[in-house]
């Protein structure tokens, strides 16, 4: 990244798909280690995933995770790193965790696809969470962006309305089999939406 002058959007602690933060002390150690790695890479956001068997659907699991994050938050604050929670729960449940942790170093890594697939309205949730609670955003849908069930013009408008100015990360598939061509297509679509918002 340094050689090609590419900014790193952040890091992802993929090991939490093995050592779940909700019930494995090793998960907590990985987060602590990941904070230092993220700092060393000179980026700010570390994605903290909660999926599959590591999902935090039960209230008790959410409370436990909030307690763990409250312990880790001072270290993240000191390092200038934000722990971004990506999961399948509602904006309200995420906000409840954030309120219990009470740290600017713990925020929501909002994924419009995850939210839609779990029955939530990303436009409403983005507006409700606001800029202060969202550290980064995943844009994805089934197939190409704008051709699935997500209303991306409305999503992008909501993102603009809350004043979010961070990374929009394309977590997209490659329907044609050419990652380069499909990434160009999705990126062009997002840029068109942004240009339309600026015109209006």
Count how many Cα atoms sit within 13 Å of the Cα of residue 161 in the half-sphere of its side chain. 14
pLDDT digits (tens, 9 = 90+) for 112-165: 999 999 999 999 999 999 999 999 999 999 999 999 999 999 999 999 999 999
Under the phi-then-psi rule, with left for phi > 0, alpha for psi from -120 to 50, and beta for the rest, what region is 45? beta
For tokens 């170093």, the residue is: 105
Structure tokens at 196: 């339309």
Which pTM does this prediction carry?
A: 0.96
């Amino acid at each position: 990244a340094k050689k090609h002058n590419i900014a790193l959007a952040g890091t992802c602690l993929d090991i939490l798909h093995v050592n779940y933060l909700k019930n494995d002390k090793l998960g907590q150690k990985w987060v602590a280690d990941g904070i230092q790695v993220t700092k060393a890479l000179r980026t700010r956001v570390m994605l903290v995933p909660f999926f599959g068997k590591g999902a935090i659907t039960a209230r008790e699991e959410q409370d436990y995770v909030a307690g763990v994050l409250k312990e880790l938050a001072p270290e993240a604050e000191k390092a200038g790193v934000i722990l971004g929670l990506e999961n399948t729960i509602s904006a309200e449940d995420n906000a409840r965790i954030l309120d219990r942790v009470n740290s600017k170093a713990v925020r929501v890594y909002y994924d419009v696809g995850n939210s839609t697939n779990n029955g939530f309205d990303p436009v409403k949730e983005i507006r409700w969470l606001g800029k202060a609670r969202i550290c980064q955003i995943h844009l994805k849908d089934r197939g190409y962006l704008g051709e699935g069930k997500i209303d991306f013009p409305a999503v992008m408008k909501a993102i603009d309305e809350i004043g979010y100015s961070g990374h929009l990360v394309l977590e997209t598939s490659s329907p044609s089999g050419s990652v380069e061509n499909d990434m160009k297509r999705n990126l062009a679509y997002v840029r068109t939406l942004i240009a339309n918002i600026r015109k209006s």
